[in-house]
Structure 1
């Protein structure tokens, strides 16, 4: 099966590409920047440098690939950047998604869109697939708008919502857990939010969940996340315990004290019972994922 993957140089995208290659798919990885991977020795791998918000280059890429599946993992995903640069966030997260949908339509490609628990306001927590989005940040709004566009697509689609993805980067920049590990090792002071709830998701589990959707061509909305409910500070304490560092300089602060530019949901997290039932999704515990990340 020919699968076109956006955001292939990103943290999640790289794991998606690796999983799909392992499953024997013909993978066309794409990114705005040059290929960072080491997958080019795999006969089923091809890299295409393309900006998915550029209609002309995207049209050429789709004409070349003619994909059976599209996995759209590319995004402007830092909430504070989205708040500060709203025009760029719209162009990337909404306009870019619409351009991908228009091109996918020409080949009747099944479309998988990666979304987030930041589409919710955080008043309730442990959101289910049928819960109504109510974003509190511009990032969340762009992801909600893009979801709505995907839901109007006529040739088969799935929306994958996830939460606080972590793991060992295959290449490129790290993530919260790897960043915190460095702070702890270097005895650097750092404030960590202690009153936001998330369901941290091990990146390999997320890639496996997406692969299961592709295998079954399962349509609809799926929460693909971890099974533990933790605050960022609780995650940080677990990192310190794993590293056997008791004299770290991490300090718990409330969301209001942390003063981030973009508002975050206070009670995030996703209910994964549908994915467990319909996709046989079985995520590892946070403890197991943490061990794999820092080993």
Structure 2
């Protein structure tokens, strides 16, 4: 009988981490993987633990690597590691670049993986569309990475570190990830829920008409990660992969807001169109980092849902909760 694969989700109590863990636990009976996750809090959220009781939590300091050896001892060397941990707020990275580099470049994680004997674990690492400069539409994976802010620079540094050290990896350059709230609510503001809240209050709100992204529904990101794990298992060979992970629609911030307003029936006049250049956010922001996702579709036969469909599902989930 083949050995059961051990999957470790790093940053399991974050937004994507929680959605991924819940999906992995619900992937079938019996659970196809042995599952563990890391967290940085003293204890993981009880709401999460109650839903994923079969997953083993480990407290880990990603800066120092403290906690990784406990995983080796009590869980075993993982076959698959999904790194969702990051400081992903661009302004926070700009304010504290040292912390951004220490967290976003997974040096302690990679060094731990390199210490394994007789095992070449598959590392799936979440990067960002902000590695691109933002001066054209529909970036391809082979385009030059020219980040304009510290967040993007830390993520490029992470990509370079992984590719120089690892032989078995998939780096996912993700756009804005949106979708329903997690089982243990995260502290950060979720984009669709925030737009819904301010428009529901009848506030006039400014949105940029000239900053473009390809937002991706969180359940599509989860499906992409699970499909990559299955592909690695079936192929039986190391991967060295970069892939753009975005939705099929290139939308401005203003168009994102209009999608929410149209679905909810809010007054569209509340949405005020402004240029991104008119606002000082304390951090440079790329204008257009829309991405070509043809490689993703070709590789995994996954076509992410449209932004409008994702907004509908997100808001219906909000209504039900």
Under a length normalisation based on structure 2, what TM-score does the superposition of the two structures give? 0.87
Gaps of 5+ in 1: none
Q: 1:262 aligns with which of 262, 283, 287?
A: 283
Deviation at 1:210, TM superposition (A): 0.9
More off after superposition, 245-254 vs 153-162: 245-254
More off after superposition, 280-289 vs 18-27: 18-27
Deviation at 1:192, TM superposition (A): 1.6
SS of structure 2 residue aligned to 1:29 = strand
* CA distance in structure 2 between the partners assigned to 1:123 and 1:79 by the alignment: 18
* CA distance in structure 2 between the partners assigned to 1:58 and 1:254 by the alignment: 46
Q: 2:205 aligns with which of 190, 196, 218?
A: 190
Q: Does 2:25 match 1:21?
A: yes
Q: 1:227 touches 1:283 (CA, 8 Å); kept in 2?
A: yes
Q: 2:21 touches 2:52 (CA, 8 Å); kept in 1?
A: no
Q: 1:70 touches 1:104 (CA, 8 Å); kept in 2?
A: no
Partner of 2:40: 32
SS of structure 2 residue aligned to 1:5 = strand
* CA distance in structure 1 between the partners assigned to 2:249 and 2:172 by the alignment: 18
Partner of 1:111: 123
Partner of 2:243: 222
Gaps of 5+ in 2: 233-238, 317-321
Deviation at 1:135, TM superposition (A): 0.3
Partner of 1:283: 304
Query: CA distance change for structure 1 residues 41 and 205 in 2, over 3 Å: closer, same or farther?
Result: closer
SS of structure 2 residue aligned to 1:54 = coil
1:73-104 deviation per Cα after TM superposition (whole angstroms, max 9, x unaligned):
1100000110011111111112xx01111111
The 5-angstrom pairing of residues 1-295 of structure 1 reads 1-23=5-27, 24-33=32-41, 34-36=43-45, 37-40=47-50, 42=52, 44-65=54-75, 66-94=77-105, 97-107=106-116, 108-170=120-182, 171-173=185-187, 174-217=189-232, 218-246=239-267, 249-295=270-316
Deviation at 1:250, TM superposition (A): 3.1
Q: Answer with 1 or 2: which has the greater Rg.
A: 2
1:257-283 deviation per Cα after TM superposition (whole angstroms, max 9, x unaligned):
122111111111211111111111121
More off after superposition, 60-69 vs 113-122: 60-69
Q: 2:7 touches 2:81 (CA, 8 Å); kept in 1?
A: yes
Give the total of aligned pairs: 293
Q: 2:167 touches 2:240 (CA, 8 Å); kept in 1?
A: no
Deviation at 1:247, TM superposition (A): 5.6
1:126-178 deviation per Cα after TM superposition (whole angstroms, max 9, x unaligned):
11111111000011000000001111233411101110111011122341111
Q: 1:158 touches 1:219 (CA, 8 Å); kept in 2?
A: yes
